[in-house]
Amino acid sequence: MRTDIADKAVSDLAKECDAIVHFAAESHVDRSIEDASPFVGTNVEGTWRLIDVCRGARMGRFIHVSTDEVYGSLAPGAKATESSPLAPTSPYAASKASSDLLVLSAVKTHRFPAIITRCTNNYGPYQFPEKFIPLMISQATAGQPLPVYGDGRNVRDWIHVLDHCRAIDAILRRGKEGEIYNIGGECELENITVAKKILAALDRSESLLKFVTDRLAHDRRYALDCTKLKNELGWSPSWEFDRGLADTIRWYKGNSNWFNETRSGEYRTYFERHYAPRGVARVNCD
């Protein structure tokens, strides 16, 4: 679609809305390392075009959904606050940090009514299988090797998608314009621990674990301080990880047609291109 036509379509829609929650992004780190251009086009230029259209439509509120990855890797015990410096590592993280700064520039320059959220790793139903948890579930279900980067000791904070949605809703309704809010699940786990939990839940042997060549510049640990969101808006995560993981596994097992369809076509090509050099060259679709 021509950008002028797309901008008009979004502008017409924006005039009918009280607020926009901007989730749209290229979000897979490995793909950004392979080719950063779609990430710059969608996450940076796309965000600015959306800001521009919403400004023209005099949008009442704009929520920009970002990521904890903009803070970069943290030392053990440290947690990023909303005022922590940005230190993105991957092209994906750099594109999101750039879009954050564009939003903040619009707030300061044009008094654009925007709020930024930065969330930890999501999991739950309908997540695309290139992401860590559905990737591990799909491989374990098929009895195929689970590719774990490096030594598997990288730490991520996991949040159930419904807790993330609750946080977004609270920020949309009661958040302060011009502010940044961290959203975390308060559930720091090493990747290898998550993979083993999935194998146990599916009654599969840990012999399926396959440690593969690490991601380039793989951040060791992410962690957020969510005190601001808790104190100002009264939000806190409600999904305990083991319960959320069990629910997620049940969903994927009960929606095998959707799961297999998403793992075919382009994703199969990507999987084999990305993991074959690491010794995991097969993706099964029942």
Q: What is the DSSP string of 123-172?
A: ESTT--TTSHHHHHHHHHHTT--EEEETTS--EEEEEEHHHHHHHHHHHH
d(CA 249, CA 201) in angstroms, rounded, equals 8
d(CA 58, CA 100) in angstroms, rounded, equals 20
* Catalytic residue (one of 12, 30, 45, 68): 68
What is the edge-to-edge ordering of all strands in the sheet holding 155-160?
A: 121-123, 155-160, 188-190
- Strands 180-183 and 146-149, by their bridges, are unpaired
Residue 69 annotated as catalytic = yes
* Catalytic residue (one of 26, 71, 92, 222): 92
Strands, E assignment, the chain: 19-22, 61-67, 114-119, 121-123, 146-149, 155-160, 180-183, 188-190, 209-212
* Catalytic residue (one of 26, 69, 130, 163): 69
- Residues with catalytic function: 68-69, 92
